[in-house]
Structure 1
């Protein structure tokens, strides 16, 4: 029997305190975790209700061109008060298998859902900002089920979704904590805490930088990498032309989206990287402030067709994400991740030190774009898929496409 199976049988029958001693490894204090934030909700709702917003825009006609539209924000505020039900959402979250483990002095929260297939591939999904483990829930159950790849190969996954250090239920890391540090901790989670000898890894946004570090630095254990984002600064139109890279009509739109983000959409990035305390503390005890800051990203970084199939991104999903940030008091520590990794985008495209397969998924409305010619410079690219629906949060924007691409890991998987 696989060591991870032994560990979780012991967790079920002996209790969390005995697991590490019984398995014979280091003590990681592995134990089940229950989401329990209801006591803080009445205060949050009172603050939402007491927050006054302007009755009309200070400058008419600007819409969302200078940030979140006032009408949209007021509509979200109203839904938060009248239709959003945290207790219902919390009950749903607690139907999943949550755990915490102590690794390098940090409490790491994660979800672990296991396939019934003994040959399932272990898969760790790394979120970014302003995401959380929530953004992968639409594909979680299906990933654990047996399915077929495009070539007819059977595939299912044991799925692990950790909360990044400083996000939601994972404790904030010390100063100067890098993506490589998180990659090391997550590799320990996969191999020593959960007992997997090898695994696949996937990441979005900040999570892509962590996934790339795992793919590059832990090349004997991270044996496949899937990406929708890269920790390499994208090229502009002139640089792409200089590299003799021509773009299709879809790729041209995607490149225009990057140019737009890099021109007028990266103010948050500069603020988080240089002055996270200023904006973080300003928003720390303001649910409407956090809603304005975060909802604007979900809306502007997603497909304009959000909420229509295959998208599952609606206002309730946005309110759930913001509620989780506010109720766990993680807005400041999440922002600090940018300042701790100020050089998170590399300008030199360097090949990862691994022969593990790489899969890349591009989505039409993501905020950055890498053509296949650039992706293959940094990894052992085996499959490049480009989707004309979806954006920066593919688990919400286009879960169907994300699920399909993740399953293709099995096509190239060698344990």
Structure 2
């Protein structure tokens, strides 16, 4: 696969092919540390198995045993390495030089549309690999209508960390992602896609950079201080899921407030032990999905292991500055002119009914509601997610190509 989808000749970047391989001594060290890590004492709260108070002690005991005995990190590495992976040094006037990793499927078509797909927390670029697999099986390099760029976001995963002399922010991260696309030769224009943190970056890119011509989101939120439109025209299903998210918010947002207000303490404490990291991230990966189709334990362990080996949990916490914006009523930038697409997945943390979206975003040209799926839509409902992306791109392709000429 990697040999077929080559870098387009117009790319301006000095790309370095990349292959994921954690040295064996680090794998051994991890297993030894995990073996020595203790499970906390039993309490009334951690013996409840209904997730009301977070992960249970029983789940953590079983997950640790699986992690030690049958989990195979090398299988996850092999899957990542099926795809073309690269690294590139991106220059930013505030952050300096930052090493950005991305997976990609480059098209041989001269009019292929560049799309940057951006993950959220607690996720990684690997969330999009199933979608890339579908595209690689559906198209050849000669017929692929898009360039698919899937980065590890700044200070996440394989993009690594910088000298910690500059705070990473939403605006800086968005600017670096825009520069990545320019460095890849897509300064004429691209489409931004994202959920969670990626959705906020796509919003900022749509508002701040002419190079971002359109954007598709699978998480859409009201701005801080923005009043909710009328609920009179909502469907019973929309009302049900709005009620569910309202009930989740008082307790489910606690993690974001801790990340946003005490990132030093949270980062140091949670990254100090594999079990601490597993409990913290595992809770989100279980709670934020459609309960009818939960993630496998192997997927959860793979995600947490990537965070552990890359040491990027502490640096990833800038995602939670979004929560601080809500406390200060600071709005998120977003274009009201560039074409917007939105895919509704009912078990996301926040949902945005169609009537609201049409009222708030007159530039919305695509809206699709789904009956299944949650916060990690590109993994939970990969076929439907890809169909939405392709349908949105088809909607905007004429105007996109006209704008980049």
Instruction: Mark yes or no: TM-score above 0.5.
Output: yes
Question: Relative to 1, partners in 2 of residues 1:233 and 1:82: Cα closer, same or farther, differing over 3 Å?
Answer: farther
Does the C-alpha gap of structure 1 residues 282 and 351 become closer, same or farther in structure 2, counting only changes over 3 Å? closer
CA distance in 2, matches of 1:7, 1:194: 6
SS of 2:291 mapped into structure 1: coil
Number of equivalent positions: 380
Q: Choose 170-179 or 88-97, whichever is displaced more.
A: 170-179
Corresponding position of 2:382: 399
- Within a 5 Å distance, the mapping from 1:198-347 to structure 2 comes to 198-219=189-210, 221-230=211-220, 232-233=222-223, 240=228, 243-307=230-294, 313-339=295-321, 342-343=324-325
CA, structure 1 residues 344+185, in 2 after alignment: closer, same or farther (shift >3 Å)? farther
What is the match of residue 171 of structure 2?
A: 180
Kindly report structure 1 stretches of 4+ aligned residues shifted beyond 6 Å.
Answer: 348-351
Quote the residue 1:126 is aligned against: 118
Residue in 1 that maps onto 2:350: 368
**Is it true that 1:159 corresponds to 2:148 in the alignment?**
yes
**Aligned: 1:49 with 2:69:** no
1:52 deviates by 2.4
Inter-CA distance 145–371: structure 2 relative to 1 (3 Å threshold): same
Please tell me whether the aligned partners of residues 336 and 361 of structure 2 are also in contact (alpha carbons under 8 angstroms): no
Q: Are 1:144 and 1:156, in contact at CA under 8 Å, matched by a contact in 2? A: no
Q: Secondary structure at 2:135's aligned position in 1?
A: helix
Q: Where does residue 6 of structure 1 map in the other structure?
A: 9
Mark the runs of 5 or more structure 2 residues left unpaired by the alignment: 1-5
Change over 3 Å in CA distance of 1:253–1:274 after alignment to 2: same
Q: Secondary structure at the match of 1:6?
A: coil
Residues 227 and 360 in structure 1, CA contact (< 8 A), matched pair in contact too: yes
Distance in 1 (alpha carbons) for counterparts of 2:118 and 2:382? 15
Compute the TM-score of the two structures, normalised by the length of structure 2: 0.85
TM-score where L is the length of structure 1: 0.83
Deviations 1:9-32 (A, max 9, x none): xxxxxxxxxxxxxx5xxxx54311
1:26-60 Cα offsets, whole Å, 9 max, x none, are: xx543112212133111111222222225755444
Classify the secondary structure of the residue corresponding to 1:389: coil
Evaluate the alpha carbon distance shift between residue 235 and residue 402 of structure 1 in structure 2; reply closer, same or farther with a 3 A threshold: farther
Return the alpha-carbon distance in structure 2 between the equivalents of residues 155 and 346 of structure 1: 44
SS in 2 for 1:330: coil
Deviation at 1:85, TM superposition (A): 0.6
Residue 358 of structure 1: which of 318, 332, 340 is its match? 340
* Counterparts of residues 184-195 of structure 1 (less than 5 Å): 184-195=175-186
Separation in structure 2 between the aligned mates of residue 412 and residue 345 of structure 1, nearest angstrom: 35
Distance in structure 2 (CA, Å) of the matches to 1:55 and 1:175: 39
Offset of residue 268 of structure 1: 0.5
Q: Kindly tell me: are residues 245 and 235 of structure 1, through their superposed partners in 2, closer, same or farther at Cα, counting changes over 3 Å?
A: farther
Q: Deviations over 1:318-368 (max 9, x none)?
A: 111100000000010011442488327895878844633211011111011
Secondary structure, counterpart of 1:197 in structure 2 = coil
Superposed CA offset, 1:140-194 (max 9, x none): 12235657xxxxxx97321101111111122446534322222222112112334
Task: Structure 1: give runs of 5+ residues left out of the alignment.
Answer: 9-22, 148-153, 308-312
Which position in structure 2 is the counterpart of 1:30?
15
Tell me how large the CA RMSD over aligned residues is.
2.8
Distance (whole Å) between structure 2 residues aligned to residue 395 and residue 74 of structure 1: 29
Q: Does the Cα contact within 8 Å between 2:194 and 2:218 map onto a contact in 1?
A: yes
Q: Is the 8 A contact 1:143 1:156 kept in 2?
A: no
